[in-house]
C-alpha cells in the first residue's frame, strides 16, 4: 500500500464529483520501414514487456473507511491487460479530423475508477498506412513531464529495441481489507499532524517575511494577481462531460525565430500565439475586447534531471495574455514581462514553505478534499494551457517510427478550454481540448493559432 499524494488525490476527488480528469497521449506510428502494420497482439506484447517500469499500470485506487480524503495506491490482483487494450478502424479518408473524432470520444468516456487508471486504443486506417495509439491516462497517475520521461525510457532515437526493461517479478499483494487500510491511515496520523503544524508555522513566518515584497508586486498594473476569480467570458460557461479534440502543428523554426527576435522564451511565444487566436475568436464572436484573458499554466517544479515517471509535481501560475493589446509584438512583450513577474511572485509566495497544503487538506477528510479540489481547479483563469519540451529527434519503438505525438490535458470546473503544446522533432504540436459549450469546432481554433503564428512572425521579422 502506498498513500497517494494530496496533489494526485485532487484529481480523484474532482472525478468523483462529476469532472472528467483523464488525459490523452496520441502516438502516431509509421510502420512503413518494416513493411507491416502493428497488430493488437504486438501492442499487447510491448505493453506487457514494459509493465515492470511502471507500477501504477497495475495499481488501483482504494479508500480507507473513515479516511476517505487521501486514498491509497494498491496492487490490483485482478489486473488483466486485455481489459486495457482495444482497437478501432477510422472511416475513410483517415485524416487528422477522423483521428480527432476518435480522441473526442475517448476524452469524453470516463476511466473505470475500480481498475488501474489507463488504457490504450490502437487506431488503424490513417492515410499513408500510418496508425496511432491513443492512451488514456488519469491525471492522478502522472503529469506531462512524467509522460515525457516514460516516452524517453521506452523509445530510442534510431531503429532498434530500447534498453531492456527489468525482469517482471510482479507478485501482487492481496487486496487489503478495509480494516487494514484504516489501520494504515491511523498510523499516518502523526505525520498528518506534523504536516499541518509545519504548514501553519511556515505560513505565519512566511507572510511576515515577504509582506512588503508581495505588496510591491501587486501594485504593478500589468501583473495579474487575483487568484480567486476572473470575469466570466465566452470561455467560462457551465458545461457537461462531453469533450472535443483537435490537433495541429506549428513550425518549430518559426517559433525559434520569434523567440530570438523578441528575446523571450518558447513558452511565452506560445502564449502570444494563443493570445492572438483568442483575440481573433473574440472578434469573430462579436465579443468585447476590454477584458484581458488569463491563462492558468501548470509548471513542473522539479529539475530537468529528475527521473520521475509518475505522480504530479506541478505549481499553478496565472498569467495575463494581454488580449486587449492589438499589436502582436507589443502583446508578446507584455506577456514576457507578466510571466517573469508572475514567476517571481510565485517564488516569493512559496519561499520557505515546507508542507504541501493539498497533502494536509486531503488528509483531513473527503469534504475538505472536495472543497480543496474545487478551489484549486476553479476558474482563476479563463482557460488552461501548458507547454511540454518533448524530444528534439524522432523516436522509434523497435522498427516502427513515431511520426508524431500529441497530448491533451483536462478541462475542469468552468474553464472550458485547454491548449497543450508538445515539442516533437521539428514541430510544435498542439492539442486543443474543449467542452462543446465553449467551442464546437476546435479545429477552427487550431487554424486561428496557425494564423496567429504567421502574424507574429511578420511582426518580428524586422526586429
Q: What is the CATH number of the domain that holds 109?
A: 3.30.559.10
Q: What is the pTM of this model?
A: 0.92
254: Cβ contacts below 8 Å, ≥ 6 apart: 453, 457
Residue 156 to residues 22, 150, 160, 389, 401, Cα–Cα distance (Å):
27, 12, 7, 17, 10
Residue 196 falls inside a structural domain? no
Residue 205 falls inside a structural domain? no
- Is the domain of 73 the same as that of 136? yes
Short-list 126, 52, 117, CA closest to 88: 126
Where does the pLDDT of residue 4 fall: very low under 50, low under 70, confident under 90, or very high at 90 and above? Answer: very high
Query: Domain containing 262: what range?
Result: 213-389+411-460
Residue 147 falls inside a structural domain? yes
Residue 395 falls inside a structural domain? no
Quick: pLDDT tens for 213-222.
666 666 665 5
Where does the pLDDT of residue 446 fall: very low under 50, low under 70, confident under 90, or very high at 90 and above? Answer: very high
Where does the pLDDT of residue 437 fall: very low under 50, low under 70, confident under 90, or very high at 90 and above? Answer: very high
User: Could you tell me the three cell numbers for 213?
Assistant: 515584497
Where does the pLDDT of residue 51 fall: very low under 50, low under 70, confident under 90, or very high at 90 and above? Answer: very high
- Is the domain of 286 the same as that of 417? yes
Q: How far is Cα 105 from Cα 108, in angstroms, rounded to an integer?
A: 5
User: Could you tell me the three cell numbers for 217?
Assistant: 508586486
72: Cβ contacts below 8 Å, ≥ 6 apart: 1, 2, 3, 4, 61, 62, 63, 64, 176, 181, 184
- Is the domain of 349 the same as that of 420? yes
With a pLDDT cut of 70, the percent of the chain lying above it is 88
Quick: pLDDT tens for 243-257.
999 999 998 899 999
Where does the pLDDT of residue 353 fall: very low under 50, low under 70, confident under 90, or very high at 90 and above? Answer: low
- What is the structure's pLDDT at 373? 64
Q: 438-454 b/e with 16+ CB inside 10 Å = b? A: bbeebbebbebbbebbe
Where does the pLDDT of residue 364 fall: very low under 50, low under 70, confident under 90, or very high at 90 and above? Answer: confident
Residue 198 falls inside a structural domain? no
Which whole number is the average pLDDT over 406-421? 92
- Is the domain of 279 the same as that of 427? yes
Quick: pLDDT tens for 165-177.
888 889 998 999 9
- Is the domain of 27 the same as that of 111? yes
- Is the domain of 156 the same as that of 301? no
- What is the structure's pLDDT at 362? 78
- What is the structure's pLDDT at 219? 64
Short-list 437, 406, 425, CA closest to 106: 406
Residue 396 to residues 21, 34, 391, 430, 445, Cα–Cα distance (Å):
29, 12, 11, 21, 31
Q: What sign for the dihedral angle of Cα 443, 449, 453, 456?
A: positive
Strands (DSSP E) found in 21-164: 22-30, 59-64, 67-75, 85-89, 118-124, 131-138
Where does the pLDDT of residue 439 fall: very low under 50, low under 70, confident under 90, or very high at 90 and above? Answer: very high
For residue 175, how many other CB atoms are within 10 A of its CB? Answer: 14
Q: How far is Cα 378 from Cα 375, in angstroms, rounded to an integer?
A: 5
Q: What angle do CA 185, 188, 193 make, to 5 degrees?
A: 125
The domain boundary, picked from 135, 151, 186, lies at 186
First-to-last alpha carbon distance for the chain, in angstroms, is 57
Where does the pLDDT of residue 212 fall: very low under 50, low under 70, confident under 90, or very high at 90 and above? Answer: low
Short-list 80, 81, 64, CA closest to 72: 64
- Is the domain of 236 the same as that of 340? yes
What H or E segment, with its residue span, contains residue 424? strand 417-424
Short-list 106, 130, 128, 126, CA closest to 118: 106
For the chain, how many structural domains are there in total? 2
- Exposed/middle/buried for residue 263 (C-beta within 10 Å: 0-12, 13-18, 19+): exposed
- Is the domain of 259 the same as that of 317? yes
- Is the domain of 256 the same as that of 363? yes
- What is the structure's pLDDT at 27? 96
- What is the structure's pLDDT at 302? 72
Residue 274 falls inside a structural domain? yes
Q: What is the CATH number of the domain that holds 380?
A: 3.30.559.30
Which whole number is the average pLDDT over 383-410? 91
Residue 454 falls inside a structural domain? yes
Q: What sign for the dihedral angle of Cα 93, 87, 74, 171?
A: negative
- Is the domain of 426 the same as that of 363? yes
- What is the structure's pLDDT at 199? 73
| Length of the chain measured in residues | 463
- Is the domain of 302 the same as that of 353? yes
Where does the pLDDT of residue 258 fall: very low under 50, low under 70, confident under 90, or very high at 90 and above? Answer: very high
Quick: pLDDT tens for 378-394.
657 899 998 888 888 89
Residue 200 falls inside a structural domain? no
Where does the pLDDT of residue 190 fall: very low under 50, low under 70, confident under 90, or very high at 90 and above? Answer: confident
Give the best-scoring range by mean pLDDT among 8-22, 129-143, 195-209, 342-356. Answer: 129-143
The pLDDT mean for the chain works out to 87
Which whole number is the average pLDDT over 266-291? 92
- Is the domain of 222 the same as that of 362? yes
Amino acid at each position: 500500500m502506498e498513500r497517494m499524494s494530496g496533489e494526485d488525490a485532487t484529481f480523484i476527488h474532482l472525478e468523483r464529483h462529476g469532472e472528467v480528469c483523464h488525459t490523452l497521449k496520441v502516438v502516431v506510428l509509421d510502420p512503413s520501414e518494416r513493411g507491416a502494420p502493428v497488430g493488437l497482439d504486438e501492442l499487447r506484447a510491448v505493453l506487457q514487456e514494459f509493465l515492470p517500469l511502471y507500477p501504477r499500470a497495475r495499481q488501483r485506487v482504494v479508500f480507507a473507511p473513515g479516511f476517505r480524503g487521501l486514498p491509497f495506491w494498491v496492487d490490483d490482483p485482478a489486473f488483466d491487460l486485455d481489459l486495457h487494450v482495444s482497437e478501432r478502424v477510422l472511416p475513410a479518408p483517415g485524416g487528422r479530423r477522423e483521428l480527432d473524432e476518435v480522441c473526442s470520444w475517448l476524452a469524453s468516456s470516463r476511466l473505470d475508477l475500480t481498475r488501474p487508471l489507463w488504457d490504450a486504443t490502437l487506431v488503424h486506417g490513417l492515410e499513408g498506412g500510418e496508425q496511432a495509439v491513443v492512451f488514456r491516462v488519469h491525471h492522478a497517475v502522472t503529469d506531462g513531464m512524467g509522460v515525457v520521461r516514460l516516452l524517453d525510457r521506452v523509445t530510442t532515437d534510431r531503429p532498434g529495441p530500447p534498453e531492456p526493461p527489468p525482469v517482471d517479478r510482479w507478485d501482487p499483494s492481496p487486496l487489503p481489507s478495509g480494516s487494514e487500510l484504516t489501520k494504515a491511515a491511523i498510523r499516518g496520523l502523526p505525520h498528518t499532524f506534523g504536516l499541518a503544524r509545519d504548514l501553519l508555522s511556515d505560513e505565519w513566518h512566511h507572510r511576515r517575511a515577504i509582506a512588503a515584497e508581495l505588496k510591491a508586486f501587486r501594485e504593478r498594473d500589468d501583473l495579474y494577481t487575483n487568484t480567486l476569480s476572473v470575469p466570466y467570458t465566452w470561455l467560462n460557461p457551465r458545461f457537461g462531460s462531453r469533450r472535443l479534440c483537435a490537433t495541429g502543428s506549428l513550425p518549430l523554426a518559426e517559433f525559434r525565430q520569434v523567440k530570438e527576435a523578441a528575446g523571450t522564451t518558447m513558452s511565452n511565444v506560445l502564449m502570444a500565439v494563443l493570445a492572438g487566436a483568442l483575440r481573433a475568436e473574440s472578434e469573430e464572436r462579436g465579443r468585447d475586447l476590454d477584458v484581458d484573458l488569463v491563462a492558468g499554466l501548470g509548471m513542473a517544479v522539479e529539475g530537468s534531471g529528475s527521473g520521475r515517471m509518475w505522480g504530479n509535481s506541478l505549481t499553478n501560475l496565472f498569467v495575463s495574455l494581454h488580449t486587449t493589446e492589438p499589436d502582436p509584438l507589443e502583446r508578446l512583450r507584455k506577456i514576457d514581462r507578466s510571466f517573469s513577474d508572475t514567476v517571481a511572485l510565485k517564488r516569493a509566495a512559496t519561499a520557505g514553505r515546507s508542507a504541501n497544503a493539498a497533502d494536509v487538506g486531503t488528509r483531513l477528510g473527503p469534504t475538505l478534499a472536495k472543497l480543496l479540489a474545487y478551489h484549486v481547479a476553479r476558474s482563476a483563469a479563463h482557460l488552461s494551457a501548458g507547454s511540454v519540451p518533448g524530444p528534439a529527434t524522432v523516436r522509434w519503438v523497435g522498427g516502427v517510427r513515431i511520426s508524431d505525438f500529441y497530448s491533451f490535458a483536462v478541462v475542469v470546473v468552468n474553464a472550458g478550454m485547454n491548449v497543450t503544446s508538445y515539442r516533437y522533432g521539428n514541430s510544435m504540436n498542439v492539442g486543443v481540448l474543449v467542452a462543446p459549450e465553449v467551442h464546437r469546432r476546435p479545429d477552427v481554433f487550431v487554424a486561428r493559432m496557425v494564423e496567429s503564428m504567421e502574424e507574429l512572425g511578420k511582426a518580428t521579422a524586422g526586429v
